[in-house]
Chain A
């Protein structure tokens, strides 16, 4: 018996030894035949991001997400920060057209300003991907929220809440009126509200994405309409002010505050504190992934810029205080540091 075990052990060793040394030199399994071509197509490519500004959760999130996904592939990701100036943004894109990176990622301050420049960039052979706020001109890819849908969902939520037995009075706090996020959302809202004559819009004002202005407007609206039933705000970063005014008036329970945003930590905190009742999230970590994937596929495709145009609308998450824990597992309540270390 002992003899037999020795023989088997010796046999096992003779078979295993060459296998083990084979594993060391990488000859196990088979190689992925496309692998090298993919990395070659991506290596050394240059992506430049032109947000409306850095320094707030959305743009910092996209930038961090792109860097963490694309840089390990050998793609450089740079940024030109126009700091909320549409002029500076247009100049940045104009100089990029001369620099000729492989991909420009544009975040449009409004639907017009960059339209001609983006067309020109495509003509010069630069791929253009647009993120979350659209230009009137469609480029290779648009990644972002369907703002018409957000408007519809927000209006629907308010209709359900402010039907019979309430005043039916609703206020709207817009951002910058010419931005895609404002203009398209307003259309979505009016699509729904036009079918609901019981809902009355008592105030429809623009607060320029500014929390202080949103607060002043909401305060006055609440004074004028103490029986206000709902408020639709256009961005959670601004509606901190809207919600603060509602809370201070002691109407957090009676006024339903809907807003939308990137689903970051600040939005979640405000839901938890009752500043908002519903935050329609366009899931920035998901968008960053979509954006990076779009860039990867465009760079591999070999198509000429503008040859094919596609749109990837972000699946929306309807965040409320009660479902935060569930959505947290799907990337909600993120921080920029999370995205950097992803």
Chain B
């Protein structure tokens, strides 16, 4: 069995575009470099160290979520419930650390955080089990689970949307807005999640299975890959990554607002993954693509804010780029007739 990297370079008949050495990855790198160069030349202050750190910091949560989504998409799944997990896991942790019906004194924050983790483990295992054993398409199962997670959290634990961090949550604040030798800790968190995930994907049996399932789930099962249990693990992994991103979000603005569930964040995450070049048909791509996608979106957003582009135009530009990326995806990663039947979205 080949590793993901070999597969990406392709053993199939090369498509016309590949003959021109024009991979999607190449296009994204070119666009990012050109855009970055143009901003650096035309926008004074863009190239300052401070701004570049701001750029990275502002997309670190997006990047971390994209790591989780990336792994799910490589296995030919999709997880639309990640933002619900982010919001509710963190909100449960925060609420339990304050005076509440179960613990009138409020728990110490680290205990609240552990219970938040437990909540995330339970709901994401449920998601994984539904997809793996009930064979529901991931796109519908996770869409529905997003509402279930949000509704459960809101009705069981929360009285309001904005939940402020307690005073003893200093380490969360440090993750969200601390500095380590002048570098925002949240950027370092993003890098750590990236590196750990890349190692897991490259060096472990789990990683091999993820690529195998994405490439051809039927063949993977015939070859003895425990497809169902691995599916559960993948969704739990995505949930854990989302929970971590939630803690960073809460640390950054001192509260977690569950309204983030109603935002377009999940589509931004998908955009990073797809624009970065992890094909929605699975089995392709690596964490390198997540980095590419995140940098492209980060550069774009930062430049648009500096240029004071209006809100509506920003959305238009983002939409056009997502559309172009999906188009490029279908041209450069053509669907494989034999394997595109199952688990496809």
Kindly provide the distance from the CB of A14 to the nearest chain B CB, expressed in whole angstroms.
59
In the docked arrangement, what's the CA distance between A221 and B262, Å? Answer: 26
Do B259 and A53 touch (CB < 8 A)? yes
Chain A positions 53-69 with a Cβ under 8 Å from a chain B Cβ: 53, 55-57, 60
The residue from B45, B249, B259, B311 contacting A224, defined by CB atoms under 8 A apart: B45
Shortest CB–CB separation between residue B50 and chain A, in angstroms?
5
B288 contacts the other chain (CB 8 A): no
- A205 adjacent to chain B (CB < 8 Å): yes
Cβ-based interface call for A220 (8 A): yes
- Interface status of B135 (Cβ within 8 A of chain A): no
B302 touches which of A174, A203, A220 (Cβ 8 Å): A220
Residues of B within 8 A of A336 (CB): 159-160
User: Cα distance A84–B253 when bound, in Å?
Assistant: 21
In the complex, residue of chain B having the shortest beta-carbon distance to the beta carbon of A269: B164
CB distance from A257 to the nearest CB of B (A): 14
**B183 within 8 Å of A (CB atoms):** no
**Minimum Cβ distance to chain B for residue A223 (Å):** 4
- Which one of A209-217, A285-293, A325-333 is at the interface? A209-217
A220 contacts B51, CB within 8 Å? yes
CA distance A188 to B4 in the complex (A): 57
Count class of interface residues, chain A: 35 or more
Chain A residues contacting B257 (CB-CB under 8 Å) are 210-212, 237
Give the distance to chain A from B19, nearest Cβ to Cβ, in Å.
Answer: 41
Set B154, B252, B306, B308: member contacting A212, Cβ < 8 A? B252
The reply on B33 being an interface residue by CB < 8 A is: no
Q: Smallest distance from the beta carbon of B218 to chain A beta carbons, Å?
A: 40
Q: How far is the CB of A254 from chain B (nearest CB, A)?
A: 16
Given A203-B308, A204-B308, check contact A56 B162 (CB 8 Å): yes
Q: Which residues from chain A contact B61 at a C-beta distance below 8 Å?
A: 212
Asked if A41 is at the interface (CB within 8 A of a chain B CB), the reply is no
Query: How distant is B146 from chain A, measured CB to nearest CB, in Å?
Result: 13
Contact (Cβ within 8 A) B260 A60: no
- Chain A residue, CB-CB nearest to B252: A215
Nearest CB in chain A: distance from B114 CB, A? 25
Q: Which residues of chain B come closer than 8 Å to A206, judged between CB atoms?
A: 310-311
Residues A219 and B161 in contact, CB atoms below 8 Å apart: no
A residues 237-260 near B (Cβ < 8 Å) are: 237, 240-241, 244, 248
Q: Are B308 and A240 in contact (CB under 8 A)?
A: no
If A56-B160, A219-B58 touch, does A244 touch B252 (CB 8 Å cutoff)?
yes
B191 contacts A by Cβ under 8 Å: no
A7 to B58, CA, bound (A): 92
Alpha-carbon separation in the docked complex, A204 to B312 (Å):
13
Could you tell me the distance between the alpha carbons of A60 and B50 in the complex, rounded to whole angstroms? 40
Please give, as numbers and ranges, the residues of chain A lying within 8 Å of B301 by CB-CB distance. Answer: 216
B170 CB to nearest chain A CB (Å): 15
Which secondary structure dominates chain A's binding surface?
helix
Q: How far is the CA of A174 from the CA of B164 in the complex (A)?
A: 22
Residues of B within 8 A of A248 (CB): 177
Output the least CB separation between B164 and chain A (Å): 7
The residue from A209, A210, A221 contacting B305, defined by CB atoms under 8 A apart: A221
Contact with B along A197-238 (1 / 0, CB 8 A): 000001111101111100111011101100000000000010
Cβ-defined contact, B259 with A210, below 8 A: yes
| CB neighbours of B3 from chain A (8 A) | none
A84 to B57: give the CA distance in the assembly, Å: 28
Contact indicator B305/A217 (Cβ below 8 Å): yes
Give the distance in Å from the alpha carbon of A71 to the alpha carbon of B263 in the complex: 35
Q: Which of A104-149 contact B (CB under 8 A)?
A: none
Q: How far is the CA of A271 from the CA of B168 in the complex (A)?
A: 20
Q: Within 8 Å of chain A (Cβ to Cβ): is B254?
A: yes
Is B255 at the interface (CB under 8 A from chain A)? yes
A210, B308: Cβ atoms closer than 8 Å = no
Query: How distant is B301 from chain A, measured CB to nearest CB, in Å?
Result: 7
Q: How far is the CA of A206 from the CA of B45 in the complex (A)?
A: 22
Chain B residues with Cβ under 8 A from A208's Cβ? 263
B339 close to chain A: CB less than 8 A: no
Contact at A266–B164, with CB atoms within 8 Å? yes
Residue of B nearest to A217 (CB): B305
A224 to B48 CA separation, bound complex (whole angstroms): 9
Interface residues of B in 150-190 (CB under 8 A from A): 154, 158-162, 164, 177
Q: Which residues of chain B are near A56, meaning CB under 8 Å?
A: 160-162, 259
CB <8 Å contact, B54 and A223: yes
Of B54, B160, B262, the contact of A60 (CB 8 Å cutoff) = B160
Q: In the complex the two chains form, what is the Cα distance from A224 to B305 in whole Å?
A: 10
* Interface of chain B residues 33 through 60 with chain A (CB within 8 A): 45, 48, 50-51, 54-55, 57-58
By a CB distance below 8 angstroms, the chain A residues around B252 are 212, 215, 241, 244
Assembly CA distance A69 to B205 (angstroms): 64
Question: Looking at the complex, which one of B45, B58, B154, B308 makes contact with A205 (CB distance below 8 Å)?
Answer: B308
Nearest-CB distance from A81 to chain B (Å)?
Answer: 10
Q: Chain A contacts of B177 at CB under 8 A? A: 244, 248
- Which chain A residue shows the least CB distance to B59? A216
Question: Which residues in B have their C-beta under 8 angstroms from that of A223?
Answer: 45, 48, 50-51, 54
Q: Given A57-B160, A60-B160: A219 and B54 within 8 A (CB)?
A: yes
Residue pair A237, B305 in contact (C-beta under 8 Å): no
Please state if A205 and B311 are interface contacts (CB–CB under 8 Å): yes
Determine whether the beta carbon of B305 is less than 8 Å from that of A240: no
Task: Please give the distance in Å from B111's CB to the nearest CB on chain A.
Answer: 24
User: Is A85 located at the chain interface by the 8 A CB criterion?
Assistant: yes
In the complex, 30 of the A-B residue pairs with CB atoms within 8 angstroms, ordered by the A residue number, are A53-B161, A55-B154, A55-B158, A55-B161, A57-B160, A57-B162, A60-B160, A84-B262, A174-B311, A202-B308, A204-B308, A206-B310, A208-B263, A212-B260, A215-B252, A216-B301, A220-B58, A220-B302, A220-B306, A223-B48, A223-B54, A224-B306, A237-B162, A237-B257, A240-B253, A240-B255, A244-B177, A244-B253, A248-B177, A336-B159
Nearest 5 A/B pairs, CB to CB? A206-B311, A216-B58, A55-B161, A223-B51, A211-B253
Name 20 extra pairs, CB < 8 A, besides A217-B305, A224-B306, A240-B162: A55-B258, A60-B160, A84-B259, A85-B262, A177-B312, A204-B308, A206-B310, A212-B252, A212-B257, A216-B301, A219-B57, A220-B55, A220-B302, A220-B305, A220-B306, A221-B305, A223-B45, A224-B51, A266-B162, A269-B164
